[in-house]
Structure 1
Amino acid sequence: MVVVPVSEALRRLSEDPRFWSFLFVNDGAHPDPDPAEVRVSLPVTGGYGLVLDLDLVTGEQTLGLREPASSEPVQLGWTGPGRPYPAALRWHELELCARVIALEDPTLPHPGLVVALLSPFAPLTPDDDVDAVAAVREAAYRSLRREVPPVAAAGPEQAPLPLFTAEAWWPRPPALSPQVIDEAAVAAYTVPAPVQLEVRGGSRFPREGLTELVRQAAQRLSRLPEEQLYAEVRPLARHIADTGDLRPVNDLLGVLTEAGCDHPTVLDALSEPLVPIEACWMVETLAGAVPGSLLRRHL
């Protein structure tokens, strides 16, 4: 599979809190619409992929399905200012695709940018685990980081008079947080949508194509533990998945490293500092366990 790098425009936008407010508040144009339009192409597997088109001037967002040998994506759902997000995807479909994308493209770890961008198109249904979905979404939003310059030293250029030596006279400028979305926004963006627009029953909805994408993505994920390199660690991964105890994850990482594993997505998910949600989905995958089964033990 050919990895399609995330565009510099999207990288820049994703590090701007105003961009995420534009997506989720969805009340008009982005305050700095440059470029005016952004296409986010997310290849999944077998020539299938998801495509998100963003119009930063009109506020319109279109999610599409790319199929093999097709020049343009088929629309899954559309939204605009003041309109609810369409329920174009089910949560398990989105997370499955996000896991496969992370395996194919280490620059898009899971949970991360894929879930952050597309989760509004996969609202909760009665079949979903509310706490598990919220935990993955929160982790995705918190994973968005940016480089921040060091805070300039505060203080006078020359020694001040004794009366003015206290730090109160020389306050430090506020430091930017490397976390793009603050905790208040994380909480707000994770609240389930009050209104859902069901589109999957429409005559033009590409059911067969989406079903095939999900089928192939599930196959891709299930093949990983069967590969020779990972087959050796499957018993240990299965033990972790069965017991719910993440303490042996470091042992799992050691066995993988000794076996010659150099897959960045696999190693990063199991490395310190350990992020339980990342470790859980990777252990589930290596164990061939049901997605989400280990995560639910840690909520």
Structure 2
Amino acid sequence: MLSGMPLPVELQKRLDTPEFWRAYLFQENHLEDSDEDWDDEDVEDDTEDEPIVVEIPVGGGYALVLDIGGEFDMVDLGMRTPDSAEILEIGWDDQAHRHPDTLRWAELDLIARAAAVVDPTLRHPGPVLALAGRFVILGPADDLDAITPLMDAAYGPPPPGAGFWPRTRDWLDRADGRPHGIAWQRNPDGDWAVDQAGTDNPGRDLYSVRRSGSAFPFAAWRHLLAAAEATLAAVR
């Protein structure tokens, strides 16, 4: 089970429901469209337009931020830095002009581990991987044998009688860029950037703002990862 974590209350009560994951992963547009029964209070909550904002702290005032649209039709990925009140947008996922290919697996794993140190009740592997995994794009250096059990544990077993539950193999179908010429490489400044080449007819196109020479906030991201590393180092 994924609930019981230090997450917004309106999200906690949904994390163990197939209806939430169907909507969050764009398997259906609205929670109320599910064939499962919801009481009147649930339906009223599900039709509200208020977004759900999830902040995943890594230490030093840095955090990964997920902004889930109230209609479950858009998920923004951002980062919080200690020197600004503004959330820096670094990716987004919708069903139109999406740019979700933002994170290296090693980075998300690092962030999830640091978050579990900042707040020990936020277990790893758990909701950080399950929620933010949609923004990972895998490259040739990634080891699926190491990644798969972590994602399996992050999603957890489906509730009894669940007709839908997120599965690691479905996540891999979306996240694995290796067959499509997608790879992570260091840019001239030493930062990791993603690109696609070497495949004439890729079955999956790369959609990312994190390409070499782009406006991606590489320096701020470098500081966020350093803060996560420092959090882990402090408990070693």
TM over 0.5: yes
Matches for 1:69-80 after TM superposition, within 5 Å: 69-80=83-94
Q: Is the 8 A contact 1:22 1:28 kept in 2?
A: yes
Could you tell me which amino acid in structure 1 is paired with residue 81 of structure 2? Answer: E
**Residues 1:49 and 2:63 are matched in the alignment:** yes
Give deviations 1:174-204, integer Å, cap 9, x for gaps.
xx6298964xx42454333144412212633
Equivalents in 2 of 1:180, 1:213: separation in Å?
38
CA 27–7 in structure 1, closer or farther in 2 if over 3 Å, else same = same
Q: Is the 8 A contact 1:138 1:187 kept in 2?
A: yes
Q: By how many angstroms is 1:29 displaced? A: 3.5
The runs of 5 or more residues in structure 2 that have no matched partner are 33-42, 175-203
Relative contact order, higher structure (CA 8 A, sep 6+): 2
From 76, 82, 85, give the equivalent of 1:62: 76
| Greater per-residue strand proportion | 2
Q: Is the 8 A contact 1:138 1:190 kept in 2?
A: no
Superposed structure 1 runs of 4+ greater than 4 Å apart: 82-85, 178-182
Q: By how many angstroms is 1:10 displaced? A: 0.9
Q: Is the 8 A contact 2:54 2:67 kept in 1?
A: yes
Matches for 1:110-259 after TM superposition, within 5 Å: 110-142=124-156, 177=160, 182=165, 185-193=166-174, 194-201=204-211, 203-225=214-236
The residue number in structure 2 matching 1:173 is none
Which of the pair has more CA radius of gyration?
Answer: 1
Equivalents in 2 of 1:46, 1:211: separation in Å?
13
Q: Is the 8 A contact 1:84 1:195 kept in 2?
A: no
| Greater per-residue helix proportion | 1
- Tell me the TM-score normalised to structure 2 length: 0.71
Secondary structure at the aligned position of 1:25 is classed as coil
Q: By how many angstroms is 1:25 displaced? A: 3.2
Q: Say what the alpha-carbon RMSD is for the aligned residues.
A: 2.6
Could you tell me which amino acid in structure 2 is paired with residue 130 of structure 1? Answer: L
CA 178–46 in structure 1, closer or farther in 2 if over 3 Å, else same = farther
Q: Is the 8 A contact 1:60 1:79 kept in 2?
A: yes
- Tell me the TM-score normalised to structure 1 length: 0.57
Could you tell me which amino acid in structure 2 is paired with residue 21 of structure 1? Answer: R
Q: Is the 8 A contact 2:91 2:208 kept in 1?
A: no
Q: By how many angstroms is 1:34 displaced? A: 4.6
CA 64–26 in structure 1, closer or farther in 2 if over 3 Å, else same = farther
Equivalents in 1 of 2:47, 2:96: separation in Å?
22
**Percent identity of paired positions between Structure 1 and Structure 2:** 33
Give deviations 1:49-83, integer Å, cap 9, x for gaps.
01100113161110001001321310010111255
